[in-house]
Structure formats: C-alpha cells, structure tokens
C-alpha cells in the first residue's frame, strides 16, 4: 500500500500493483510515467487517472465502449510493442486490453471524449500508452450527450 496525494479526493491509499505504467508518458505530460486508476462508489463507469507524482494532474475517463459500443482499435505496431503485445494484430478490447477515452469537461459545453487517442492498457503487465490513431475515423472531441439531451425511456 502506498499513500497518494490526489487532486479530487485528498490522500488515498492504493496498491503498487494497481498502478498503470506509461513508459512514454502522455503527450504534453511526457514526464508523468505512473498513474493510479481510481474509481468512486456511485460514479458508474467513470475512472480517475491520477498521476502518482503530481497531485494536481488527474484525468477523467470512460471505458471507450461506454462512449462508443462499436469502437474499433487501430493501434500502431510501435505502440503495441510498448505494451508488449503482438504487433501483428489488433488486441481485443476487454479481455486483452483496457481502453479508456480521456474526457474534457468544461462549464457550459457538452463533455467530450478523445476517441482519436485512447489510453490503452495491457492488464497483464499494467503497461499503458496513449495510442494516437493515424486515420481520421474518430474525433478527438466526440460529444457525450449531457443530461438535457438524454431522452427519457
């Protein structure tokens, strides 16, 4: 167990073995190599990716299939090598890799998810990479319907 200073929840404890290791960091945050995935009871699929070295750095994310149930991966061979996965084929979301979409939440704007550059984690070795797609299939600002837009059943 290690104690972690977090952006949103004060000090929390987490197991070293639960941390995600980003050998390359994330673009714009290349020095941040280790993040703790934190979830809260009641926040459903929402996950907080908290840097272990910078308390003020925490990303909010959703499992990508929550945002788009039909999402198709396109991870480069270089990124698959970082994850220590077979670079000859795309892994399966769920049983082979955890795939997260980083969220942008701003006042008076709909929340958006970055489907162009998802965070991909190999659960077997906890290695992670932000896998930037080379194609234009998905948006880096995919709108998530807000409460107001959700139609009642």
Residues in contact with other proteins by the rule CB under 8 A:
7-8, 26-29, 40, 42-44, 46, 56-60, 102-107, 110-111, 114, 116-117, 130, 132-134, 140-141, 144-147, 150
The encoded tokens of residue 95 equal: 């049983």
Q: Which residues contact 109 (CB under 8 A, 6 or more apart)?
A: none
Query: At closest approach, how far in Å is the CB of 38 from other proteins?
Result: 12
**With respect to other proteins, which residue has the nearer C-beta, 20 or 59?**
59
**With respect to other proteins, which residue has the nearer C-beta, 59 or 71?**
59
CB-side neighbour CA atoms (13 Å) of 75: 31
**Which H or E run contains 35?**
strand 34-38
Query: At closest approach, how far in Å is the CB of 124 from other proteins?
Result: 25
């Amino acid at each position: 167990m290690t104690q972690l200073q977090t952006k949103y929840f004060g000090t929390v404890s987490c197991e070293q073995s639960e941390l995600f290791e980003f050998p390359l960091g994330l673009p714009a945050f290349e020095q941040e190599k280790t993040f703790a995935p934190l979830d809260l009871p009641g926040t459903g699929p929402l996950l907080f990716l908290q840097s272990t070295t910078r308390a003020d750095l925490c990303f909010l994310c959703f499992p990508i299939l929550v945002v788009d149930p039909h999402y198709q991966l396109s991870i480069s061979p270089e990124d698959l090598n970082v994850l220590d996965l077979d670079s000859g084929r795309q892994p399966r979301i769920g049983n082979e890799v955890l795939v997260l979409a980083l969220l942008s939440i701003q006042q008076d704007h709909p929340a958006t998810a970055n489907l162009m550059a998802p965070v991909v984690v190999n659960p077997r070795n906890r290695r992670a990479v932000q896998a930037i797609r080379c194609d234009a299939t998905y948006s880096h600002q995919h709108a998530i319907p807000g409460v107001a837009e959700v139609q009642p059943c």
